[in-house]
Amino acid sequence: MQNRIQLIAAAAALTCAGMAQAGVAFDANLELDITNRSGKATEGAAPAFQSGVNTGGRVEINANAELLKNGDNYVTARGTLIVPVNGTAVTIDDAWIKFGNSTVDFKAGRHEAADLFPVGKDTVLDLASPAGYRANVLRGRVIDGRLHAVLGLNASSALRFELGVVSEDKNDSLLAAPTKAYGARPTVVYTAGPLALRAGVESYKIGATSYNGVGLSGGYALGTDGNVNVNYARRTSDNATIADASSFGLNLVYGPAGIGYVKDKNDAVGAAAAVDISTVYAAYSFPLMGVKGATVTPAISHSTGNNTDLTEFRVRFNYAF
């Protein structure tokens, strides 16, 4: 109850601030999911999921600062409040500030850096078993107080470099089995007309183990409302007991339709067998009752591997307030 009272107060304050500050724009949207999950395990394996129908989703409230300029210099910021529909804790999604000019910029806070493995229209995309690596360990949205900052350089209108840094969590480093990654993530994005090429490296540590990963992605725009992406990423470590991992993805979005395929793999280590998961997914969005900003999206995902099958069918309702 206290959490909801705080949320109502925060929303009221944001609304009043929007009326008073012409430099801030507010928007909100609802995303409601109804999902049916089913599957089976073979050869005596236990499925790592619970079958049945469930409801999820969230209300997203955004505060967007006006991009203020002083000559070629600018400052902008964004804050996003996420209110789950299932009654769990209210969270923050984006909360960042960005400043710079047309050549160099700096962004810090809770945010996401360049996407090296775009999956397209992933309304539902769940794996039969955890596996793979998608070059996103240091991509961002850090929620535990660690620093995430990205320095960007626009070498030309077509070529952009970014260097992202995530700091170490000292409390986590004291644990017997640390789980939080920290390190550096340099990336480069090249765009030429409809073509977009992305490449990057993640060099990070979790406890005493060092990891190195690489991500490569190529995208091609199909007119104004479509694109196709091909992605590959692979990660290795200096710990012989941890499996190397890789992922390959291919997806297409065209207008309201999307379809994709992802193969996630973990190599064999010692007595542990390799894990190989194949997942296909698709979605299509329809206007809802002819109302602007309202859509309904049926979607399906089927994932197989590691002695397990997982199928999910989801209906997502979206409404932009």
**Separation CA 165–CA 85 (nearest Å):** 33
Mean pLDDT of the 185-194 span:
97
Mean pLDDT of the 198-224 span:
96
Residue 140 has pLDDT above 90, yes or no: yes
Q: How many domains does the chain have?
A: 1
| CATH number, domain containing residue 40 | 2.40.160.10
Q: Residue 25 forms beta bridges with which residues?
A: 64
Residue 123 has pLDDT above 50, yes or no: yes
Count of CB atoms situated within 10 Å of the CB of 294: 16
* Residue predicted with more confidence, 236 or 7: 236
Mean pLDDT of the 232-241 span:
96
Instruction: At 233, give phi and psi (nearest 5°).
Output: -145, 145
Is the distance from CB of 151 to CB of 104 less than 8 angstroms?
A: yes
pLDDT in tens, 15-64: 444 444 447 899 999 999 999 999 877 655 556 667 799 999 999 999 99
**Separation CA 73–CA 1 (nearest Å):** 44
Residue 102 has pLDDT above 90, yes or no: yes
Is the distance from CB of 100 to CB of 60 less than 8 angstroms?
A: no
Residue 238 has pLDDT above 80, yes or no: yes
Q: What percent of the chain has pLDDT over 70?
A: 90
Task: With 0.85 as the threshold, say if the pTM is over it.
Answer: yes
Instruction: At 9, give phi and psi (nearest 5°).
Output: -65, -40
**Domain extent for 30:** 2-320
Residue 314 has pLDDT above 60, yes or no: yes
Residue 151 has pLDDT above 60, yes or no: yes
pLDDT score recorded for residue 89: 86
